[in-house]
Amino acid sequence: MSNQIERFQDPGLPEHVHRNADVDPRAAKRAEQQVAILFLLSAAGTVLTIASYIYVKSSTFVYLPVLGRTDLQQLLLGIGLTAATLFIGLGAIQWAKKLMPDEEVIAERHEFRSEEVDREELVSTFKERADASGIGRRSLIKRTLGLALGLVGLSPLVLLRDTGPMPGEYLNKTDWAAGTRLLRDPDGQPILASDIEVGAVTQVLPELPAGVERTLENTGKDAVLLLRLRPEDFNLDPERLSWTHEGIIAFSKICTHMGCAVALYEQQTHHLLCPCHQSTFDVTRAAKVIFGPAARPLPQLAITVDADGHLIAKQPFTVPVGPSFWERNSSNG
C-alpha cells in the first residue's frame, strides 16, 4: 500500500527577488550613505568616550529622570562606548543586508562516514601497530604500566593535602566557656541584665582571653543573639528555663541549616527567621524549627549573671553550632 502514497514534492528554492538597491542605483547610493552615517556615529562615540574620560570630573553627580542620581563621567563613558561599538555593528549589518549579494547559495554536504576500506584499514593498522608494541604479549609490561599509571595520579592528590589543616575538634567547639562574659557587638562592652529591654535583640560575642584578637573565624561560630521576652511568654522545660535569666535568652546566631546569620526577629510572634532559606525558629520554645529546611533548633547558650550583674555564659554550648557535618553527633540535638 505505502508505495502508492504520493508525497508532496519539494518545489525547490524560490526564485530570487531583487532588492531595491540591486536595481535602483539611487537606492544603492542611499544605502551607502546610511552605512557611512552609522560608521560616523561610531567615530563620534569614540570621541565622546575620550572627551568624557579627560574633561568630565570624577564623582560629578547629576539627577536624571528614570536613572536617578548618576555619576556623569561613568554614564558618558558608557554612552560613548555604546555608540562606538553599536554603530559599527549596525553599519556592518546594514551594509550586508542592503548592498552585499543576497542570493542564497547551495552547498552540498559530505557524509562523515569514511569509506569501508579506510575503516577496515584503520582497524587493521591499529591492531598491527599495537602488536608491534608487544603490549598484548608482554603482560608484565602491561601490568606494571597499569600500576604506574594508576599510582601517578596520587602524587598531586597528596600534594594538595596541605591546602588546609584537619578539622579536628574545631567544628564541635566555640569560644564560649563557663563564666565567659557576653560582649555587645560591635562596641565590645559587657552587658548588664538591666540594660536589655523586653523585645530587644542584641548581637553578642564572647570575651576572649587577653591578647587574643577576634577574627572572622571566631565570629563565624561564636555569634550569639540575646533576646528579652516577658518570662511568661516562654514555653520551656525546666532545664532550658534555667538557662535563661529574667526573660533574657541566648541562641547561636549561626543557622543550623547552612550557616547564614539568623538575623530577622519578628517581635510580635517571637520568631527568628533566616533570610537565606527562611528557616523559622520559635524563640519561646527554645528555637524549635517551625518552618523551612533547617532540621535542628538553634543551640541555646545557658546564661546567668556574675557578681557585678554582667551577663555571663553558664557553660559552653552543649551541642556544636552551625550547619551539619558528617562527624557531628546529633543524638542530643
Partner 1 sequence: MKTSQKVAGATANYVDERTGAAKWLKKNLTKVFPDHWSFMLGEICLYSFIILLLTGTFLTFWFDPSQREVVYHGSYLPLSGIHMSAAYDSTLHLSFDVRGGLLMRQIHHWAALIFMSAIVAHLFRVFFTGAYRKPREFNWLIGVGLLTFGIVEGFLGYSLPDDLLSGTGIRIAEAILQAIPVVGSYLAFFAFGGPFPGTAFIPRIFIVHVLLLPGLFLALITIHLMLVWYQKHTQYPGPGRTEKNVVGYPLMPVYMAKAGGFFFVVFGVTAFLGAVASINPIWLYGPYTPGQISAGSQPDWYMGWLDGLVRAAPPLETHAFGHTISWNILIPGLIIPGILFTGMALYPFIESWITGDKREHHLLDRPRNAPNRTALGVTAITFILISLLNGGNDIIATHFHLTINGIMWFTRIGLFTIPPIAFVVTKRICLSLQRADRDLVLHGRETGRLVMMPNGEMLEVHEPISEAQKWTLTQHQTPEALPAPLPASATVGLKGKIRARLNRANAVQIPAPTLTDLKELGDGHH
| 324 counts as binding partner 1 under rule CB under 8 A | yes
| Phi and psi at residue 75, to the nearest 5° | -65, -50
Q: How far apart are CA 327 and CA 171, in angstroms?
A: 9
| 83 counts as binding partner 1 under rule CB under 8 A | yes
Considering the complex, state which of residue 13 and residue 36 has its C-beta at the smaller distance from partner 1: 13
Q: How far apart are CA 309 and CA 195, in angstroms?
A: 10
Residue position matching grid coordinates 529574667: 246
Considering the complex, state which of residue 136 and residue 167 has its C-beta at the smaller distance from partner 1: 167
Considering the complex, state which of residue 139 and residue 329 has its C-beta at the smaller distance from partner 1: 329
Q: How far is the CB of 6 from partner 1 (least distance, A)?
A: 4
Q: Transcribe 147-197 into DSSP letters.
A: HHHHHHTHHHHHHGGGGS---TTGGG--S--TTPBEEETTT--B-BGGGPP
> How many residues interact with partner 1 (rule CB under 8 A)?
97
| 212 counts as binding partner 1 under rule CB under 8 A | no
Q: How far is the CB of 73 from partner 1 (least distance, A)?
A: 7
**Grid coordinates standing for 220?**
563565624
Binding to partner 1 (CB under 8 A) within 106-165 occurs at 106-109, 111-112, 160-161, 163-165
Q: How far is CA 236 from CA 196, 231, 314, 317, in A?
A: 21, 10, 17, 17
Considering the complex, state which of residue 35 and residue 196 has its C-beta at the smaller distance from partner 1: 35
| 61 counts as binding partner 1 under rule CB under 8 A | no
| 328 counts as binding partner 1 under rule CB under 8 A | yes
Angle at 333 between CA 298 and CA 282, to 5 degrees: 35
Binding to partner 1 (CB under 8 A) within 19-38 occurs at none
| Phi and psi at residue 62, to the nearest 5° | -125, 155
Considering the complex, state which of residue 255 and residue 303 has its C-beta at the smaller distance from partner 1: 255
Strands 311-313 and 271-273: unpaired
| 278 counts as binding partner 1 under rule CB under 8 A | yes
Considering the complex, state which of residue 203 and residue 235 has its C-beta at the smaller distance from partner 1: 203
Q: How far apart are CA 195 and CA 183, in angstroms?
A: 13
Q: How far is CA 8 from CA 1, 2, 5, 15, 188, in A?
A: 17, 14, 10, 19, 85
For partner 1, the binding residue among 190, 231, 247, 259 (CB under 8 A) is 259
- Whether the Cβ atoms of residue 313 and residue 327 lie closer than 8 Å to each other: no
For partner 1, the binding residue among 226, 254, 311, 313 (CB under 8 A) is 254
Considering the complex, state which of residue 136 and residue 275 has its C-beta at the smaller distance from partner 1: 275
Residue position matching grid coordinates 567547639: 173
Q: How far is the CB of 189 from partner 1 (least distance, A)?
A: 16
Segment contacting partner 1 by CB under 8 A, of 123-131, 187-195, 241-249, 261-269: 261-269
